[in-house]
Structures are given as structure tokens and as C-alpha cells.
Amino acid sequence: MINQNLKIFTATIFVFCFIIFGLQSASAQTSVQFLTSWQAHNYAPSWYQGKIFPTKGTSVEIGFELLDKGKIADLSETKVRWYVNERLAANEDDGLGLKNLKITVPDYPGHETNVRIAIVNYLGGDTLYKNIAIPIVSPEAIIESPCVGGKIGFGESVFKAIPFFFNVEDTGELLIEWSSEQEVKDQSAESWFLGLNIEPTTPSGATINLSAKIKNILNELEFAVKSFQVQVK
């Protein structure tokens, strides 16, 4: 009976210690937090306030800070390793405490580039990990239209094409091709505007198909097409 009670007591102490250790480990983990950021270096209009997403071949800078109990941790003597799609991209051979990495996106639109940060044996303990998934998008062509509800009146209406997420510094490195079923005014490969003239003889309710194709001069595989339709009032 005594042996049985001793076994129960020992088991209880073991479980209690296990729980306490688990709580301490969980507390230590929750006291540490990664603050990460990334920035894609491709084109978007200066007025655009949203996130600029990379496409294949875009240069992206990734950075992080580690917060430990609310304070920025000193990693100057710590091994930090960076992996891109599970391949080692930088480690302590490149210097200790690496908080920034610059990469060229290897993935195609519709996929993600996965970046993993490993802080090796942080404070002599476990290695800390942080995964970052960067979505890869296709370049886009957005059309600024004067039409309300897709309706267009007689006379001239001006449309504007706006490129997003191309691997260029400015629109001077891009060409645009407009396509229309109707007469256009002053349209050229350098014009971001399409002047569309609707004659009074055009039947009400007639639909007109338009499209704009934007392409990178230096990369024929990098392009975007936007097709849209308007209806005569």
C-alpha cells in the first residue's frame, strides 16, 4: 500500500513538474516576437498608397527586428540564417546579426516566395524561426474611365491606362498598344490616353470593345492586357 502511494505521489510530482516546465517554455516563447517587413522595388504610380507586390524578377528587401519582453533584442553577436524557398541565402559567413536580406524574386505569378529566418541558439537556448510568405503577382493594366456604369455618350471620351507592378523605374520603359472598334484620336505607343470618338449616328445601346496592352520594352514576357466594354447611351 505504501509503495502504491509512493508511486502515485511520484507520478503526481512528475506531471506537476512537466506542466510547470511547459508553462515556463510557453512563457519564454510568447515573450519573444518577430517584427518583419518587406518592400518590392518595382513600379506603381506615386499616388498609390497600397502595398506594392513583386512579380518574377523583382528586387525585394526583407528586414526584421526581434522583440524580447517588449525591447529590441541585441543580435550583433548572434548567428542569423536566411533561407529562400528552403535554400540557404545568407548566414554567419556573411556577418553576425543579419537583419536584412535583398533578393530577386525567383517565382512566377500566382505563387509565393517563402523566406525563413533562423536565429541560432538565441541566448544559448533554442533556435527561433520566422516564416514569411511573399505573394507574387502579375503586372496589371488599370483603365481610368470617364464612363458611369459603363455607359458612353456621343463625342469624344478619354480613357487612361495605368500600369502596376512592372519591373521598371518609370513609364518611359513601357509601351502601350490600344485596340478599339471605333475611331481613336492621337493614339500611339507612347500615349497613355485613348481618345474615343462616338459619332451621333452610332445606335443607342451599341457595345464597343476596347483593350490596352502594356509591355516592358526590355522584357517581352512581362506584359499586361486589359479588355473592357462600353455601351452607347
Q: What CATH code is carried by the domain that includes residue 194? A: 2.60.40.1080
When pLDDT is cut at 50, 70 and 90, the band that residue 2 belongs to is: very low
SS3 (DSSP) at 135:
strand
Considering the domain architecture, whether residues 126 and 182 belong to the same structural domain is answered as: no
Q: Considering the domain boundaries, does residue 28 fall inside one?
A: no
> DSSP 3-state helix, strand, coil percentages of the chain (rounded to 5)?
15, 45, 35
Maximum mean pLDDT: which of 46-55, 175-184, 199-208: 46-55
Structural domain boundaries enclosing 67: 34-135
Q: What are the pLDDT digits (tens) for 113-160? A: 999 999 999 999 999 999 999 999 999 999 999 998 899 999 999 999
Tally Cβ neighbours within 10 Å of residue 203: 6
- Picking from 135, 156, 182, the residue at the C-terminal end of a domain is 135
Decide if 114 contacts 133 (C-beta within 8 A): yes
Q: Do residues 118 and 145 share a domain?
A: no
Residue 27, domain member (yes or no):
no
Residues 97 and 171 in one domain: no
Domain end position, chosen among 101, 135, 169: 135
Look at residue 106 and tell me if it is in a domain.
yes
Q: From 118, 43, 62, 129, select the one nearest 88 (Cα to Cα).
A: 118
Give the DSSP letter of residue 89. Answer: E
Question: Quick one: 121 and 154 in the same domain?
Answer: no
Average pLDDT across the chain, whole number: 87
Number of folded domains that form the chain: 2
Please check whether residue 70 lies inside any domain of the structure: yes
Q: Are residues 195 and 144 in the same domain?
A: yes
The amino acid at residue 112 is E
Looking at residue 183, its pLDDT comes to 52
Q: What is the pLDDT of residue 17?
A: 38
Out of 135, 160, 186, pick the residue that ends a domain: 135
Q: Is residue 2 part of a domain?
A: no
Shared domain check, 227 and 152: yes
* Amino acid 190: pLDDT: 56
Any domain includes 8? no
Residue 153 and residue 97 in one domain: no
Q: Is residue 178 part of a domain?
A: yes
CA within 13 Å, CB half, 153: 3
CATH of the domain at 99: 2.60.40
79 CB neighbour count, 10 Å cutoff = 18
Q: What distance in Å separates the CA atoms of residue 60 and residue 101, rounded to the nearest whole number?
A: 8
Collapsing DSSP states into helix, strand and coil, what is residue 67?
Answer: strand
pLDDT of residue 12: 41
DSSP bridge pairs for 156: 197
Same domain, 81 and 59: yes
- Please classify residue 5 by burial: count the beta carbons closer than 10 Å to its beta carbon, then call 0-12 exposed, 13-18 middle and 19+ buried: exposed
Burial grade of 21 (CB within 10 A; 0-12, 13-18, 19 or more): exposed
128 and 43, same structural domain?
yes
pLDDT at 29 over 90: no
Task: Encode pLDDT of 184-208 as tens digits.
Answer: 554 544 589 998 889 899 899 999 9
Q: What is the pTM of this model?
A: 0.80
Same domain, yes or no, for 67 and 130? Answer: yes
Q: What angle do CA 194, 199, 201 make, to 5 degrees?
A: 155
Are 128 and 144 contained in the same domain? no
Does residue 31 register a pLDDT over 70? yes
Q: Give me 213's grid cell.
A: 496592352
Which helix H or strand E contains 33, and what residues bound it?
strand 32-41
Q: pLDDT band for position 19 (50/70/90)?
A: very low
